[in-house]
Structure 1
Amino acid sequence: MNGVDATVVAEGLRKTFAAPDGGVLRAVDEMTMRVRAGELTALVGPDGAGKTTLLRMMAGLLKPDAGRLRVLGFDVAKHPQAVQDRISYMPQRFGLYEDLSVRENLDLYADLHGVPPGIRRERFARMLEMTDLARFVDRPAGKLSGGMKQKLGLACTLVRSPDLLLLDEPSVGVDPLSRRELWKIVQQLVDDENLSVIVSTAYMDEAERCARIFVMHAGRLLAEGMPAALRERARGLAFTAAPPAGTPARDLQARLIDADALIVDAVPRGGTVNFIRQPQADDRALGELLGDVDCRPRGEELEDAFMMLLRQQKVARAAASPEPAEPSPRAGAHGGPKSDGADAPVIVVRDLVRKFGDFTAVASTSFEVVRGEIFGLLGPNGAGKTTTFRMLCGLLPATSGHLEVAGVNLRTARAEARRRIGYVAQKFALYGNLTVRENLEFFGGAYRLRGNALRRRVAAVIERFGLDPSAISGLLPGGYKQRLAMAAGLLHEPEILFLDEPTSGIDPLARRSFWRTITALAQDGVTVIVTTHFMEEAEYCDRIAIQDGGRMLALGTPQAVRAQAGGDAGTDMNSAFIAIVEQGRAANRGAVAGAGA
């Protein structure tokens, strides 16, 4: 380490990019920070905060426009290669070669880094043991689950032993079990090798694991400190509220979060609602808002402090440059309230099976979804939920079983069913150089909307989602890009909306807004099928299904699923999910062992 006590020292660091509208985007703006050696450090912040740009400058891949940046004692602008020789960097989209095996990918990256054969053998053995990939060394990377791919990417990043490891949101799109395994590996490296790690993350529970946290917003540093010190910002302001019997937690959450003069943030959690009151909130007004709701104090969390910082920054920016108020999601732009037939199933799945050769991806799955229901499809990477999702959308035929969507049998009339559904993919194909209106007109044309019908629908979704029709789509913040994706998916007024990990990679503030929109859609009679790896989001659903290994492990309300997990695991959905999957895998191993006896 050359005796340096800091891995990174930045002073007045700035990086700008030319924006498509001819302006200048300040990705990192006058950043000053000091990252200590031998620690696990987190960068957190909303979309567009500058986290990735900062990491790329640390890695010597981008040159600062102004200021000074020293990494491992080297001036990165003058000696980028000296820095790159001693660090490892895992970007969000790590470049695995999917037609190469696990071992061949490791060999390729070892060749690129010039790792000698002796060191290579020892390093490979350690990485394969830590990532639990030793059993899969001959499997093509393209055949691995999402979580296993991330672990392989981390192993390839670490084929040599670096002085500094940079990780750019390594667990985005990864299920809770795989996230836990990834963080176990990282923590082991910090403990065993005294490795310095800087990680950007959208998960506050991950940031909580770090020794120090830097909170970023719009390229600037909002706050820094140890997790405990940052949590202090929310001391005495954190509460939990139990909704009245028969009232979904998401309805109470919507009521609280709309009262932004009194409430900083509110989110469903374990059947209740965790909220943060505004420091200067009037007690009488707060009491009127809560009414007869049972409310009690709780311990403050890091996410509470993070949401307070984001809200304060949002208010400050609005005061500095006033913009039209963000509209609340509203009903009426789709087709009116639920009908009396709300309890009739609009999706019917019976004994659904999908095989790929000898491999069974989905094994005899059955469930129903009624109109206006929010139904969550959850499971670890490789569980079969994406295959189930694609069959429901009519994108993949079933091997056997009955599948009915919007009253249409998908085995005999897939094209007709697809006209009655909307689909928002995880990576929505926006045309970044087109305006919001131009994107919507393009997608409306793809749905065969023309003339007055197209103009009416474009105007309706622009109003509903609070979009600026003249805004360049590529310059929209992540949350607004997701709104535009939703608007495009609803242009043809579908009865059912499929959302495939819609909030992956977007910050908590944007996720709150997104789920308010989904709740409003359900109240309007739209049936919503959603996949997600954020277990807190399962609390917004009327019912959820948990799959693993192609089998259904749990099906019911969030409360019922938490109860199925039992014990302490039933206190929150993240713990319940992990417990149910682990119980299912243990039972399956026992059944296999019994059959072989």
Structure 2
Amino acid sequence: MPPATNPLALEIAGLSKRFSLDKRQVTALDGISARTKAGLVTGLIGPDGAGKTTLMRLIAGLLRADAGAIRVFGVDVGASPLAVQGMLSYMPQRFGLYEDLTVSENLTLYADLQGVPRAQRAAQFATLLEMTGMARFTSRLAGKLSGGMKQKLGLACTLIRAPRLLLLDEPTVGVDPVSRRELWHIVDHLVRGSGMSVLVSTAYLDEAERCDEVLLLHEGRLIGEGQPGNFTAAMAGRSFLVRTPALSKRAAQALLAAQPGVADALIQGEAVRLVMASARAPDFVGVPRLGEASIVPVAPRFEDRFVDLLKQTAPTPATAPAPRAAASEPGTRVIEVEHLSKLFGAFRAVDDISFTVRRGEIFGLLGANGAGKSTTFRMLCGLLPASEGTLRVAGFDLRRAAAPARARLGYMAQKFSLYGDLSVLQNLRFFSAAYRLSGARQAARIGWALEEFELRQVQGATARDLPLGFKQRLALACALMHEPDILFLDEPTSGVDPLARREFWQRINALAEAGVTVLVTTHFMDEAEYCDHLVIMAQGRILAAGSSEELKQAASGPAAPDPTMEDAFIALIEADTRRGAAA
């Protein structure tokens, strides 16, 4: 780490910013003061609506503060915004690539916009393309790149003019673990190699542990700052792994989370990772079905402290009541895929895959960006015809009876797909009507959604203006309006903070326990632990299948005796890449 004598990159003093939203005043930032040193990676961590993006835009001089001041390398942003903008580069959440231009043409366009002299461009482009691994794709259209490649191209365009300070607003949202690791290698190279200062916001708390220092935001206030290791150390003696042979992992998690003194409970493989509210070992003697539990201390994580701090001020999320039970019996095959393929011209997006899903299971489809997961989902939902193979969903052959099958399905798309110009209530009315609900039945389901997803207080707000966590709640509520037997979730928690993800999975676990079958894709490898069975895809094919414990065990070895699910995923993808390169 650079020495403590580093000059300051950022000085933030008494910073406040308010917005008018839906005829009310919203405080995005409330008197924040902080300092970050030059030559470090500083993580900006906080739940949805904490004020992270607002702070980034204020630093970049794109917004004007209501009170307070920001200085970038000693220059006041309010007094000299153009001078500050000359020292920094900003990559927002939705970086504006031009999808009809090639990789090379996007770089040239941004070089023109940044005024990079033509004599310097060839060397700069070569450096950026080599650093991001994009040198082989200069003639490919940006719209044809995978999500991870788009993010790397966006970063390259941001770095066309090398800044002293780089602002990255959640650069790894929606990209797979391999691409996330590659992006962090780039950031490490920039900071360690050239001394660049970086401020990065992220929803992945394992990424916070990569930072030199972190700023924790919640509801517009700074609730903590310092080195990640200091936050983790504060949780010593409070983390445990609990195994309950008499209970399913979902039932165990729900029961453990309700016990006094428990701050957090997460499914991890076939066990539950427990965080206590204080440094004491859990004692479940005399608690029905928990008395025989195996309890083993484990090392704390940064996420433990983050969630612990937030839960001191945030209410405990409610669990949605279970929908009606599905018609089939437990263990019944409700999804059967045999030799499924999808061709787009000569390109095989999905290549001869087969798997089975039973009633009440949570089944995970994992894979790198462009692996074929979303294409598989769309075929299973009847939204995209299969080129080859057989699909049976809820007893219906999708190649012959797609409409009856769709009536039994709920679908939550990868991108927020509701109507942004409609209010929360109008979206609920529209989707309930689309599912052919009317009269008292429609009114009852809308009332259920408003209460159980805590949407009543924002029912008049337009969907576009909702924080991401509320958008997710609304999308899930709309998918459940007709009480489906099978629920498809395509990367449902992308960009959502840890508390909102916990709330989401609490609801999904309750649905699965009630007999609803759930298929999910996710880039959060800790969420793969919630799945009963997993399939990992690459280039349209299935690389591996099994439970999370089985996949982790297969990836274990002398170099990684106790791999995480992310370690197992990356090992499989990299091994497949090496095989492809050798072929």
Give TM class, smaller chain. over 0.9
Distance 1:200 1:282 in 2: 34
Of 45-54 and 487-496, deviating more is 487-496
Q: CA 1:4 to 1:573, structure 2 compared with 1: closer, same or farther past 3 Å?
A: closer
The residue type paired with residue 572 of structure 1 is: T
Q: CA 1:283 to 1:106, structure 2 compared with 1: closer, same or farther past 3 Å?
A: closer
Q: CA 1:187 to 1:30, structure 2 compared with 1: closer, same or farther past 3 Å?
A: same
Please give the residue correspondences for 1:286-435 in structure 2 after superposition, counting only pairs within 5 Å: 288=287, 290-314=290-314, 326-331=317-322, 334-336=323-325, 341-431=329-419
Shift of 1:93: 0.4
Please give the residue correspondences for 1:175-186 in structure 2 after superposition, counting only pairs within 5 Å: 175-186=176-187
Shift of 1:570: 5.6
The residue type paired with residue 446 of structure 1 is: A
- Alignment correspondent of 1:46: 47
SS in 2 for 1:309: helix
SS in 2 for 1:586: helix
Q: Say whether residues 1:249 and 2:249 are aligned partners.
A: yes
- Alignment correspondent of 1:28: 29
Q: CA 1:374 to 1:104, structure 2 compared with 1: closer, same or farther past 3 Å?
A: same
The residue type paired with residue 16 of structure 2 is: R
Shift of 1:160: 1.2
- Alignment correspondent of 1:8: 10
Distance 2:379 2:456 in 1: 35
Distance 1:105 1:198 in 2: 24
Unmatched 5+ stretches in structure 2: none
Distance 1:297 1:205 in 2: 20
Q: Say whether residues 1:545 and 2:546 are aligned partners.
A: no
Q: Say whether residues 1:518 and 2:519 are aligned partners.
A: no
- Residue 490 of structure 2 is aligned with which of 483, 486, 500? 500
Shift of 1:231: 1.2
Shift of 1:286: 7.8
- Alignment correspondent of 2:173: 172
Is residue 13–residue 31 contact of structure 2 (8 Å, CA) maintained in 1?
yes
Distance 1:238 1:132 in 2: 39
The residue type paired with residue 377 of structure 1 is: L
Residues 42-89 of structure 1 deviation map (CA, whole Å, 9 limit, x = unaligned): 000111000000001111111111111111221111211111112111
Distance 1:34 1:581 in 2: 40
Distance 1:390 1:32 in 2: 47
Distance 2:171 2:458 in 1: 34
Shift of 1:119: 2.0
SS in 2 for 1:234: coil
Of 474-483 and 58-67, deviating more is 474-483
Is residue 361–residue 549 contact of structure 1 (8 Å, CA) maintained in 2?
yes
Is residue 4–residue 73 contact of structure 1 (8 Å, CA) maintained in 2?
no
- Alignment correspondent of 2:432: 444
- Alignment correspondent of 1:577: 569
Q: CA 1:464 to 1:64, structure 2 compared with 1: closer, same or farther past 3 Å?
A: closer
The residue type paired with residue 533 of structure 2 is: R
TM-score for the superposition, normalised by structure 1: 0.92
Q: How many residues align?
A: 574
Of 472-481 and 384-393, deviating more is 472-481
Q: Say whether residues 1:275 and 2:274 are aligned partners.
A: yes
SS in 2 for 1:197: strand
Shift of 1:463: 4.4
The residue type paired with residue 276 of structure 1 is: V
Unmatched 5+ stretches in structure 1: 316-324, 593-597
Distance 1:470 1:300 in 2: 36
Is residue 172–residue 505 contact of structure 1 (8 Å, CA) maintained in 2?
yes
Shift of 1:458: 2.0
Is residue 317–residue 503 contact of structure 2 (8 Å, CA) maintained in 1?
no
TM-score for the superposition, normalised by structure 2: 0.94
Of 110-119 and 134-143, deviating more is 110-119
Of 45-54 and 66-75, deviating more is 66-75
Q: CA 1:258 to 1:85, structure 2 compared with 1: closer, same or farther past 3 Å?
A: same
Residues 218-249 of structure 1 deviation map (CA, whole Å, 9 limit, x = unaligned): 1100000001111122122122212326x443
Distance 2:199 2:139 in 1: 31
Larger % of helix: which?
1
Is residue 40–residue 196 contact of structure 2 (8 Å, CA) maintained in 1?
yes
Shift of 1:368: 1.1
Distance 1:104 1:501 in 2: 30
Distance 1:142 1:103 in 2: 13
Distance 1:4 1:274 in 2: 39
- Alignment correspondent of 2:520: 530
Shift of 1:569: 6.7
Q: CA 1:274 to 1:544, structure 2 compared with 1: closer, same or farther past 3 Å?
A: same
Distance 1:195 1:51 in 2: 21
Distance 1:398 1:340 in 2: 25
Is residue 450–residue 459 contact of structure 2 (8 Å, CA) maintained in 1?
no
Shift of 1:588: 3.4
Q: Percent identity?
A: 52
Distance 1:136 1:429 in 2: 30
Is residue 328–residue 359 contact of structure 2 (8 Å, CA) maintained in 1?
no
Q: CA 1:145 to 1:476, structure 2 compared with 1: closer, same or farther past 3 Å?
A: closer
The residue type paired with residue 292 of structure 2 is: D
Distance 2:365 2:321 in 1: 25
